Structure 1
Amino acid sequence: MYRVDGPQPFSLTVSDVNHHHSYRAPEDEGEAALHFFRNCRSTRDGCDNIIRSLHVKNPHHKKPNPRQGVTAGPTETIGTAIAERSLKDARSCQTQEAPPLREIPGRNSRNRTRSRNEIVIGGAQRRRDIVPNQKNTNVFLIDTACNSRPKFRVWCSIESWAHVNPGLQIWFIMTSPRISDFEGFPSKLLQKYPNLNIVGADVEKMVEDTPLKQLFDSKKWMQNNTWPVELLSDMMRVLVLWHWGGVYSDTDVISIRPFNLPLNSLGYETNFQIGSAVYSFEAQQSIIWHLMEDMVNGFEPELWGSIGPKAITRVVKAMCDVVDLETLLPKTPVTCGRVTLHPRQTFYPVDYTQSKKFFTKNGGKRFKKIFRRSYAVHFWNKMSKEFMVKKGDKSLYEVAAKKYCPVSYSEATLEADTF
């Protein structure tokens, strides 16, 4: 075990400063590593809202031996772009050196000037590469929009995983080099949940020695389509599970039951397609490698989800040796190779076409009936973001938020009736 370079409270080792974690040096294991700068739990610790930063250092993973029944994706040529949108600004935002911690002015609802911190990811200490003590005990959520102030619904998703799964390490990965500690809210979450970590990512190092490096370096995902933020998220979710294993969750998914499903679990999103909002894989599983290969070969800039749900569906079809996934649905949960497919109720109990149902007044009365077999609930933010959660409406979303993300719900409704 080693010490973090630079100023640190009480000059303790990493494991002592972060008493709820135990870390291993990457050089001891010869594996990918993370940068972690953890927010101090109390002002008595003598430090100012330091959040850990995360990135991969020199990953050297070899391609696994191909497994019978698993094939690479389609080889059709990538289509002509339909938009000229670029993610250059967001990409530079990921890799730029974070500035020092600074105070920014703010006002509360009563117009009283107050001082609130911007938490800088990796800006207060020189970073050292470390990895979590155990693989596959992680839950990753990712923001790829370079957003320094995520919405309350995003925080609700993050908090729910920490609240419902105290035995798992929850990693919120941000592409922004700083996060607004508005009203001290992110710090409140970090203080309440010792298993929650807010981190940054060096994506360029994460793709090294993986099939996704070809697609990432081509920049086609940035320039030749209208969804660069979503495509970056599609890549990052697979990369974190390849390197470290565990569970990936979109930030519009609320955890409502401890995740005790076996790793290498996926869920039906429709009768014909596997969803990509929740992935569960052991680290360096061969199916992840094949998924990355398929994402490269099957990328179509004009097709929504070409490297998301459509990619994982193609790979699962090959693994299960079926043309139509609907034939397996009555048998769920069903295992193909080392992957278990779960029914729609597990993660996607409400179809995206019915997303308004989450926000209907008094809809929460049927919460237990609708979600009785669910482990997590996808709220389809792309379809439902314009529907508001109204305090006191007892909607499905409000019932879930009050129970599974109580701090976020309380903060969101402290001075407003909707969020």
Structure 2
Amino acid sequence: MSITWNTIWEAHPDVFIAQNWLECPEDKKKANRLPAHYNYFMGGETTLRVGIIACSSILREEEFLLAGVLWGNRLSNGAKTVIYFVAPNFSLAFLNAVGKIGGTISARAIYWREKLTPSLYLIPHEQHCSQVRYALGEERPDLKRWGQGLNPVARQQLMIVNAFFAQLVSRQVRMVIKPQQIAFLWGNFEIAEVRRKGKKFELNSKAKWLKTNEQMLKWQKQGWVDASGSLNMDFCSVILSILDYLESLKQEGKLRSQDLLALWLHRGDGVLKSLWGSSWPWPWLPKERGENSVIELEEWYFFQGNGQLSVVCPVFEKPLMKASRSIMLASVLERSSLLVNAKNEQGNPLVWDGRVHWLTTLGLEEELRRWYCWINDVDKFPIWTLPENWQDKGIYELNCRSTLLNHSL
């Protein structure tokens, strides 16, 4: 469907602070590295630039947010600039993120409702700056609650399975409980799974991340508790073999940067512990369809220390896009009830200071830092860089050039 946006702008002169819009042609979109599936318009004067980014359907809000900011930056050239985001609908996270845009760029969001007259509705600032927190997600069950739906024999067997993997914690194996399954992971790699089957469960090794089917099939074993109350030996042997293999990859420097970093962050010792405290497991699961932000936040890292909760977002690729998404997810944490009643293992309250720490490499820092020109509170997003040789030597120091945290650890 072809939309004549200029006709829409002309029919709503009171919505914008400029008129006589010019559309950015396709070749200029490409030259400015702007996503081609959005429409861009410019107006205003020398002292106040005005732009519009419009689309009939947003597929990825973080891309739409970034594209609008990049368009505003292109128009600005140091002058005050207003950018309007126009689309049929926006999530609360997007609207709150729009409220974070600052520096030389101001941003507003506008609903476009094709079948209504008028069809453009400027969203008041108050609508995306509300102090009322909204409910999101549901609490992740612990092992005891997860096993309540099992029969008594299966519950006892689950405790035996848990005891086996508890012995592997020293080898950095961790457990993640979900509604219908329990995953056992080494860093980002799932090595085993318990899956609910009615009032019983199935236990299987997992190695889907392997590149060769032959090895994957070799390590595909089912686990069960035998008459003596022990896990079958072939399953235990396979799990230990998988761990040996993964640890050898680490030793030989063959892990991807993201996977190696996950190991260090989940371990959470050394400089990480002195800076942010010990690792704090994400306690939430999505309650309804569409609560993708709850799942995405599980990919971040949370630390607890001295009654404070610290939030760390690794940025290892596409820094501008990752930062855009993290600004939206930070809005979710701010406006939802997810961290309101956060507690440590002893039940003592944890307080989040509102900051999201961007953790990145020296090679990506400068591009990530571009966002500091476009947000109104840069102290909420301190940038920490890993040492150049962290993959060989570990995270023995972190450097931050933020105005509030200008030091090395």
Same fold at TM > 0.5? no
TM bracket, shorter-chain basis: under 0.3
Q: Which of structures 1 and 2 has the bigger CA Rg?
A: 2
TM-score where L is the length of structure 2? 0.25
Whose relative contact order is higher, 1 or 2, with alpha carbons under 8 Å and at least 6 apart? 1
